[in-house]
Structure 1
Amino acid sequence: MTTYDKRQEVPEQEKWDLTDLYTSETDWQEDVDDVLAMASDLQSYDGNINDGASLFSFLKTQEELSYKLQHVFAYTMFLSDIDTRDSHAQQLKAKASQTAVKVSEATAFFMPFLLSLDETTLKQYLQEEEQLTYFEDKLWKSFRYKPYVLSKEKEELLSTLGESLSAPADTYNMLNNADIPFGNVTDEDGNAVQLTRGMYAKRIEDEDRDVREEAYRAYYKPYVVLNNTIATNLAAEVKTNATIAKLRGHDSALSQSLFDDNISTEVYDNLLSAAKDNIQPLHDYTAIRKEKLGVDELRQYDLNVPLVPDMKVNISYDDAYDTMLEALVPLGEEYTKVLREFRDKRYIDVRETAGKKSGAYNMGVYGVHPFVLLNHHDDLKSQFTLVHEMGHAMHSYFSNKHQPQITANYRIFVAEVASTVNEVLLIQHLLKETEDPKMRKYLLNHFIEQFKGTFFTQVMFADFEKQTHERAATEEPLDANSLNELYESLFRTYHGPTLVFDEEVKYGWSRIPHFYRAFYVYQYATGFVSAIDIATRILDGDEQTLNNYLQFLRSGSEDFPLELLKKTGVDLTTPEPIENAMKMFRETVEAFKRTEY
């Protein structure tokens, strides 16, 4: 059974056991009280850290607080997500958020204090207190920011402007999620109804081209009408990023964004250039799409419809899980043994029920275990979602098991590696096992579309971000016309000459919320190609790569992301990993073209 009317109908084995976190709300409240008491204690250190002992005492208390706060927040998030209509759960979540704000306020003084120290003083503190060795690496990594810290007065000024500086992102979020009025489409009874995002996602994949076109034009209508407003808003965001980077002494907004992960702009530029150098297979696929759809002119609203009719295959959750375990055998006995236990120990909330949060995610809770939320349907799409989220969960499990709390959380830059390695292993396993040519073609099409969305589309977005910030830095115009022209030019570059452009294409940039989180999306692409490179070598039987990859899963954030990946054999300062991924993409496109049913 795929869906249930009530959560009570779902088998216990397919629901989270939240007693692993707290056995009662009373226990949860005790931790809330402890966190608030520790926050008050931490605030008393403001102005009173003057030697190694007091520095260690502050950091140790802060880590203990962080441990409890994560549990406090996770518990309420999980309660709320299993039924978003539960008002009591929402109240607990709000209380957890308020607690987190108080903690943030209590500890806000510390980073400015740390960066006000000179290097000699910090070294002295480390020599005075032997137990500070545990925090030493974190302290020095934080200390890297010192050259980019402004005077006390300027930092205070920027802090007071924080809400104003976030206004473009906040404005776009409200506009895009609350106020956007989509156009009308025709329902099954011939009536005009206003399009919703959920409707659009289904209609843009409809086999009826008229349905797709109508949905496409209705979806883009508000972005066309509001073009100047959204352009002015994005320009403000981009100019703010460029200005703050300049004020702090960074070479660019890009270098400022990459600084935290210790990544050079060379990696970003290498990604863009390598993608463009290997763009031909994507152009070939676009041409294949036109041929398969049998259209005189391929339009943007033709790019999402599946080229192979959906395979209506019924795959139970247990069968999907067992297939995943078979597909991941190349990762070794320990990996599959632990993964098998996740199902038995109720680490996964499986089924869609009324009020449950949509989508899927993994959250690793240090000191407990990963919690995975699914909305599982017994189909192929859910099977791929399962294997993706369990990749995240296993990364969390191994990092939390082998790392101290301070380095257990892996960074966003490497977050998609483990999930994508799992997906590659699954699809290769399914391709190897299937004897049905239609299923084979469907799987190849699925992988191509994943490649296109996770790599090429994200690189195109990254290219757009880089060029808009460069224009802001040199005070070139960033108005509706210039943004439209830039986006349309990039869309042509990445999609090739087969596509015939509608007027709406150039407005595509205005619907991307990630542009208000500068230089974030490129990490999807780097994580994807890293995973392709690693998975390919594991499937080729490279034992050294397997051992290195398993160590990578255990490493959390004990080193910077590029260094962790280098230990797996992936060096993103060179074009080689991207070219290896492009080779797989090219071969997949060719296999798709050859396969007939």
Structure 2
Amino acid sequence: MSTYKSRKDVPEHEKWDLTDLYADEQAWQADVDECYQLADTLSQFDGAIQDAKSLLDFLETQEKLSFTLRKVFAYTMFLSDIDTRDAHAQKLSAKATQLSVKVSESTSFFMPFLLSLSEETLRAYISAEKKLAYFEDELWKSFRFKKHVLTKEKEELLSQLGATFQAPGDTYNMLNNADIQFGVVTDDNGQQVQLTRGMYSKLIEDEDRNKRKEAYKAYYKPYVELNNTIATTLSAEIKTNVTLAKVRQYESALHKALFADNIEQSVYDQLIDAAKANIEPLHEYARLRKQKLGLDELRQYDLNAPIVPGVKAEISYEEAYETMLKALKPLGDDYIAKLKEFKEKRYIDVRETPGKRSGAYNMGVYGVHPFVLLNHHDDLNSLFTLVHEMGHAMHSYYSSKYQPQITANYRIFVAEVASTVNEVLLINYLLKETSDKRMRAYLLNHFIEQFRGTFFTQVMFADFEKQTHERAEAGEPLNAESLNELYEQLFRTYNGPDIVFDDEVKYGWSRIPHFYRAFYVYQYATGFASAIKIATAILDGEEGALDAYMTFLQSGSSDEPLELLKKAGVDLTTPEPVQAAMARFSALVEELKQL
């Protein structure tokens, strides 16, 4: 059984054990009180850090607060996500948010203070106090930003304008989540009902083409109607990014976005170039899709329709977990033993219940363990989601086990590597185990679709972001017409000449919330390509590949992301990893064609 009418009906061993965080609410409240006391202590350091000892005292207190605050926040988040309708959980969540505002205020002075120091003074502090060695790397990482920090007065002014800078993104989010009204579609009873996002994701994969088309038109309706408004919000967001980059003396908005992770721009450019140079297999896949669906014209609403229909495997949660353990065997005994433990010790909240947050995630809580939220249905997609999230969870587990608190959290740039390595190992295992031709075709198609969504589509988005920001930097207008034209041109380049364009295609950019977090999406593609290379090396039994990967999982953020990946055998400063992933994609398309 995969859906329950009440959380009470779910077996205990398929629910989180939140007593691992707090025995009861009283214990949680005690930590909240302690956080307030620590925040008050931290605010007293403002203007009082005069030497190595006071710098150390501040940093140690801040780390202690950070440790407790994460637990406090995690507890309320998990309670809310179990049932988003729970008023008491919402109340605790509001308390945690209030606390985090207080903490943020109490430490806001520190970064301007640190960056006001001379390099000589910071070195003198570090050599005067042995215990500062623990914080040294993080201090120098922060210190890299010194040349991009303005005078105290200007920084205060920018700080006061923070809400203004966030306005385009806030406006878009409100518009996209609260105000947008999709068109109507016909339900199974022949009634006209308003489309929802949840309905759309199902209908766009329906085998009935008329249903797909109706859902597609209804989904894009508000984006077409609000085209000028959304163009104004995105244009404002891009101009804000460009202006702040200029004010802070970065070479460009892209340079500013890559600076924090120490990523060279060549990595971003090479990704786009390599994808475009190897785009033909994606076009070939579009032709295959058109042929398999028996269409005279392939349109955007045909891109998610199943081309291997009718393959519906029922896989219970128990069976899914066992399959995962077998598929991930190449990662070694310790990895498998820990995965078994995660299930036994109730680190996973498995079932969909009324009010539960949709989707799936992993959250590692340092000093406790990872917590994984699922909405498991007994099907193949849920098996892939399980394997994906457990990749994140094991990355969190190993990083927390082998790293001190300061470097235990891995960066976004490498976050999708462990989850995708697991998915590649699962696909490989399932393909090896199946003798059914239709199931094999279904699995190949599933993997190809992952490539299309996680790699090619994200690269297309990254290309769009780069070109829109460059236009703004050159003083060219960004309006509905220019954004539509650019997106349509990129969609054609990436998806190929076999797609007949409906008018809606060019509005695709206006439904992407990630564009309000500039230059973020390219990391999905680099992470995916890195994972393909790592998983292939492990499966091919390359000497040292598994040890290098396990070291990567244990490394947290102890080095820069590009360096961590190099140690795992992936050098993203060269086009080779992306080209290798492209070769794998080409082989998948070729095999699916043969089948």
TM-score, L = length of structure 1: 0.99
The alignment status of 1:450 with 2:440, answered yes or no, reads no
Give the Cα–Cα distance (whole angstroms) in 2 for the partners of residues 63 and 23 of structure 1. Answer: 23
- Quick one: which amino acid aligns to residue 138 of structure 1? E
After TM superposition, list the pairs within 5 Å mapping 1:250-269 onto structure 2.
250-269=250-269
User: 2:28 maps to what in 1?
Assistant: 28
Give the Cα–Cα distance (whole angstroms) in 1 for the partners of residues 51 and 87 of structure 2. Answer: 47
User: 2:94 maps to what in 1?
Assistant: 94
Shift of 1:310: 4.3
Give the Cα–Cα distance (whole angstroms) in 1 for the partners of residues 99 and 197 of structure 2. Answer: 34
Task: Give the number of equivalent residue pairs.
Answer: 595
Give the Cα–Cα distance (whole angstroms) in 2 for the partners of residues 400 and 149 of structure 1. Answer: 32
Give the Cα–Cα distance (whole angstroms) in 2 for the partners of residues 376 and 183 of structure 1. Answer: 30
Shift of 1:40: 0.1
After TM superposition, list the pairs within 5 Å mapping 1:313-392 onto structure 2.
313-392=313-392
* SS across alignment from 2:375: strand
* SS across alignment from 2:373: strand
Give the Cα–Cα distance (whole angstroms) in 2 for the partners of residues 187 and 317 of structure 1. Answer: 30
After TM superposition, list the pairs within 5 Å mapping 1:534-545 onto structure 2.
534-545=534-545
User: 1:574 maps to what in 2?
Assistant: 574
User: 2:160 maps to what in 1?
Assistant: 160
* SS across alignment from 2:229: helix
Give the Cα–Cα distance (whole angstroms) in 2 for the partners of residues 25 and 193 of structure 1. Answer: 43
Give the Cα–Cα distance (whole angstroms) in 2 for the partners of residues 37 and 392 of structure 1. Answer: 33
User: 1:276 maps to what in 2?
Assistant: 276
Cα deviation digits, residues 339-384 of structure 1 (max 9, x gap): 1111111110111111111110000000000000001111100000
User: 2:401 maps to what in 1?
Assistant: 401
User: 2:69 maps to what in 1?
Assistant: 69
136-145 or 198-207: which moved more?
198-207
- Quick one: which amino acid aligns to residue 285 of structure 1? Y
User: 2:217 maps to what in 1?
Assistant: 217
Give the Cα–Cα distance (whole angstroms) in 2 for the partners of residues 496 and 184 of structure 1. Answer: 30
Give the Cα–Cα distance (whole angstroms) in 2 for the partners of residues 560 and 189 of structure 1. Answer: 56
Cα deviation digits, residues 239-273 of structure 1 (max 9, x gap): 11001101111000000000000001110000000
Cα deviation digits, residues 197-232 of structure 1 (max 9, x gap): 111111111111111111111111111111111111
Give the Cα–Cα distance (whole angstroms) in 1 for the partners of residues 157 and 330 of structure 2. Answer: 55
- Which aligned runs of 4 or more in structure 1 are off by greater than 3 angstroms? none
- Quick one: which amino acid aligns to residue 525 of structure 2? A
Shift of 1:311: 2.1
Give the Cα–Cα distance (whole angstroms) in 2 for the partners of residues 339 and 247 of structure 1. Answer: 48
Give the Cα–Cα distance (whole angstroms) in 1 for the partners of residues 27 and 487 of structure 2. Answer: 53
* SS across alignment from 1:3: coil
Give the Cα–Cα distance (whole angstroms) in 2 for the partners of residues 313 and 244 of structure 1. Answer: 51
After TM superposition, list the pairs within 5 Å mapping 1:39-50 onto structure 2.
39-50=39-50
User: 2:418 maps to what in 1?
Assistant: 418
Shift of 1:513: 0.5
* SS across alignment from 1:164: helix
User: 2:169 maps to what in 1?
Assistant: 169
The alignment status of 1:559 with 2:559, answered yes or no, reads yes
- Quick one: which amino acid aligns to residue 275 of structure 1? A
User: 2:467 maps to what in 1?
Assistant: 467
Give the Cα–Cα distance (whole angstroms) in 1 for the partners of residues 222 and 88 of structure 2. Answer: 37
Give the Cα–Cα distance (whole angstroms) in 2 for the partners of residues 189 and 5 of structure 1. Answer: 24
Cα deviation digits, residues 546-593 of structure 1 (max 9, x gap): 100000000000001000000011000111000110111001011111
2-11 or 252-261: which moved more?
2-11
Instruction: Say what the alpha-carbon RMSD is for the aligned residues.
Output: 0.7
User: 2:202 maps to what in 1?
Assistant: 202
* SS across alignment from 1:193: strand
Give the Cα–Cα distance (whole angstroms) in 1 for the partners of residues 569 and 346 of structure 2. Answer: 35
* SS across alignment from 2:570: coil
User: 1:441 maps to what in 2?
Assistant: 441
The alignment status of 1:500 with 2:481, answered yes or no, reads no
Cα deviation digits, residues 34-83 of structure 1 (max 9, x gap): 00000000000000000000000000000000000000010111111111
* SS across alignment from 1:467: helix
* SS across alignment from 1:353: coil
522-531 or 88-97: which moved more?
88-97
Identical positions, percent: 71
* SS across alignment from 1:166: helix
Cα deviation digits, residues 424-468 of structure 1 (max 9, x gap): 000000000001111101000100000000000000000000000
CA shift in 2, pair 1:310/1:254, >3 Å: farther
- Quick one: which amino acid aligns to residue 202 of structure 1? K
Give the Cα–Cα distance (whole angstroms) in 1 for the partners of residues 121 and 253 of structure 2. Answer: 31
Give the Cα–Cα distance (whole angstroms) in 2 for the partners of residues 430 and 189 of structure 1. Answer: 38
Which sections of structure 2, spanning at least 5 residues, go unmatched? none
Shift of 1:164: 0.7
Give the Cα–Cα distance (whole angstroms) in 2 for the partners of residues 321 and 273 of structure 1. Answer: 39
